Amino acid sequence: MHEHRVVVTGLGVITPVGNDISTFWNSMQEGKNGVGPLTSFDPAKFDSRIAAEVKGFDPVNYGMSFKDIKRMDKFAQYAVASAHQTIANSGINLEKEDRTRIGVLIGSGIGSLHTIEAEHKNMLDKGPSRMSPFLIPMLIVNAAAGQVGIFFGLKGPNSCVATACASGSHAIGDAFRVIERGDADVMVTGGTESSVTPTGVGGFCALKALSTRNDHPEKASRPFDRERNGFVMAEGCGLVVLESLEHAKKRGAKILAEIVGYGMTCDAYHITAPDPEGDGASRAMQIALKDGNLNPEDVQYINAHGTSTKLNDKIETLSIKRTFGAHAKKLMVSSTKSMTGHLLGAAGGVEFVVCCLSLMHGVIPPTINYEFSDPECDLDYVPNKARKVNVSVCMSNSLGFGGHNASLIVKKFTD
């Protein structure tokens, strides 16, 4: 039995399809595509020349000074901006709170490639004496969590998770546990990433992991579709405020949803390829169900990891069928990466936000670009058009390089 029930009271995003919750959610419902030609550097020599980039982002709009901006990599800027949103959305008055009871747990799979690339070039061109004294504080993967703590004076538990594409989900799950056991009353948590750089894109191109549908970028991210040929690099951040039910009620918070289950496992199979039997991902889902005291039939919607790679989509489908049995055919399963691209370590944070919004508004976002059915991907992927349906229990899956698997379950709050 969990010591403390944990609820969601705030949401915040920076994404390729919207830099606030309202714009983002409208994009999800409309099937808006955030993928286009890569603009942040010249991609002419790269196999993949497309990405889902954040557009119109100005850190000054989120309370960051020019000095702050110079001392923060983009992934940390995105985190501070999303934290501004989610704290405001939660309605929490930090001036009236014991900030030693408010913590931060933010995941990132890669972190600060912008800073590393720029300062490495600086060292080669001008020598080590001309390197920035802020290089190390900017490149460390915990910089996002640290900067959010500093900006808002949050002195409770503060940590980060780096488990590749499962980072955001693991961060939320671990923050859930922190509150459950009474180590904090409130946690700002999720994932952030900004690795659309020459090194980031080049590295994934070398792995042959990225879509090369350069002539039709809007069709490139196509999870579960037979013609999928790789994922699309993306950037952004998704954060939530988690809170103990007692604390939320005491301050009269609007409760958006309740997080009830968390499962984490390892494939122990291969550093990039998923276990072909789908065992690790299936066990993560089973653990989350048991943790939430739920039966498979209780889940109505899964926001899938759904990367648009040949192996991931096939094996995730298999793992869902292993977990849910006959009920798998009744599930709605969609991949919002078809719209946002793959935000790597931020994906789980953004997709958990999607699950909360689906519960709140009774809308399941679609898997866009679904044109050709794959016999090995034979579930209901909510193709191309959002579906209006009231759901009470949603699951979010994240499956990362290294064999890291995370499943989160969130449900409508009932007293």
Catalytic positions, written as ranges: 165, 305, 342
Distance of alpha carbon 103 from its chain centroid, rounded? 19
Closest CA to 223 of 22, 15, 33, 21: 33
Distance of alpha carbon 304 from its chain centroid, rounded? 11
**Is 264:164 a contact under the CB 8 Å cutoff?**
no
**Cα gap 108→131, rounded to integer Å:** 24
Query: Torsion angle, CA of 270/275/276/280, rounded to 10 degrees?
Result: 180
Exposed/middle/buried for residue 215 (C-beta within 10 Å: 0-12, 13-18, 19+): exposed
**DSSP state at residue 130:** G
Q: Positive or negative, the Cα torsion across 53, 62, 8, 150? A: positive
Amino acid at 341: G
In degrees rounded to 5, what are phi and psi of residue 24?
Answer: -60, -45
**DSSP state at residue 363:** E
**Cα gap 330→325, rounded to integer Å:** 10
Closest CA to 37 of 18, 24, 53: 53
Residue 262 token pair: 């968390």
Exposed/middle/buried for residue 103 (C-beta within 10 Å: 0-12, 13-18, 19+): buried
Q: 224: Cβ–Cβ under 8 A, 6 or more apart, which residues?
A: 304, 306, 313, 317, 335, 367, 370, 374, 377, 379, 381
**DSSP state at residue 107:** E
